[in-house]
Amino acid sequence: AMRGEKDLHAAFDALARAEKQLGLLMRFVELSRCLGDDPLPVAKRELLKRSGASPALLRELVRKEVLQVVERPLVPDAPGDERPAPIALTPPQEEALNAVRNDWKEHATVLLHGVTASGKTELYMRLMLEALERGEQVLYLLPEIALTTQVIARLKRQFGDRVAVYHSRLAPRERTTLWLRMLNDPGSTPIVVGARSALFLPFRNLGLVIVDEEHDPSYKQHDPAPRYQARDMAIVLAGLHDARTLLGSATPSLESLFN
């Protein structure tokens, strides 16, 4: 069974050609928050229901020692666990937030240069909340699929079912379902968290685009076609919707600093 991020990446590589098994693993990672500070056990029934996978598919991952089945009693959620926590910012975070708002008065795209662990995610969530209050959609891009699992639990605690996750490792059925839902009922998906492929979802009322770790080279797709730089595409997408863009990084790229 996996013991850390290194094992997880090895499992991704090993299952690269097994699309259904890979989709099941990604759903487990999302539900278990296994890359976060507080991983959770996942009930077999819930995993199969949320992934749409068959028991045989799960048994195959267990046989390959990618996942491990452990018998334990299920503990119901405590009352009130779903209530969103208030987004409290420290004085430096409030100062950075005000600076971003002021910069947006002059420029549609703003760079947030903050050191690692400086609390950029809390600032992002405050801006997301403000966008939702205006009735706008939010696109939150992350450079790697594994990174979404580290922040998605925090976002879902705050925003609940209003958060959707999208990346290339989802099962085709899951990607299609989200696409159609956004196309036919834009209000049902106000926040999308995803890797670069989330750029191509059918947004109807996009108001805020956040590109976290904008310097990361994985935003560039070299192969297969289409070849593109997701950070730059995000800025173009925001422009098409007259939306605001926030680029975040502890080590910004030279072009972002210059621009």
Total residue length of the chain: 259
Q: Is the pLDDT of residue 73 over 50?
A: no
- In this structure, the strands spanning 163-166 and 206-212 are unpaired
Q: What is the pTM of this model?
A: 0.67
- How confident is the prediction for the chain on average, in pLDDT? 83
Which are the contacts of 221, defined by CB distance < 8 A and separation ≥ 6?
196, 227, 228, 230
Q: Is the pLDDT of residue 36 over 70?
A: no
Q: Is the pLDDT of residue 29 over 70?
A: yes
Neighbours of 211 (CB within 10 A): 30
Neighbours of 37 (CB within 10 A): 8
According to the model, what pLDDT value does residue 251 have?
83
According to the model, what pLDDT value does residue 38 have?
53
According to the model, what pLDDT value does residue 206 have?
96
May I ask the CATH architecture of the domain 91-258? 3-Layer(aba) Sandwich (3.40)
According to the model, what pLDDT value does residue 138 have?
98
Q: Is the pLDDT of residue 76 over 70?
A: no
> How many Cα atoms occupy the beta-carbon half-sphere of 35 within 13 Å?
20
According to the model, what pLDDT value does residue 42 have?
78
- In this structure, the strands spanning 220-221 and 228-229 are antiparallel
As a dihedral over the C-alpha atoms of residue 219, residue 201, residue 24, residue 52, rounded to 10 degrees, the angle is 180
Give the pLDDT mean for 89-101. 93
Contact predicate 218/185, CB 8 Å: no
Residue 41 binned pLDDT confidence (cut-offs 50, 70, 90):
confident
According to the model, what pLDDT value does residue 82 have?
46
Contact predicate 208/108, CB 8 Å: no
The full 3-state SS of 55-124, as one line of letters, equals HHHHHHHHHCCCCCCCCCCCCCCCCCCCCCCCCCCCHHHHHHHHHHHHHHCCCCEEEEECCCCCCHHHHH
Give the pLDDT mean for 91-119. 89
Place of tokens 């290339």: 168
- Domain boundaries along the sequence of the chain: 5-63, 91-258
Which are the contacts of 143, defined by CB distance < 8 A and separation ≥ 6?
195, 196, 212, 213, 216, 218, 219
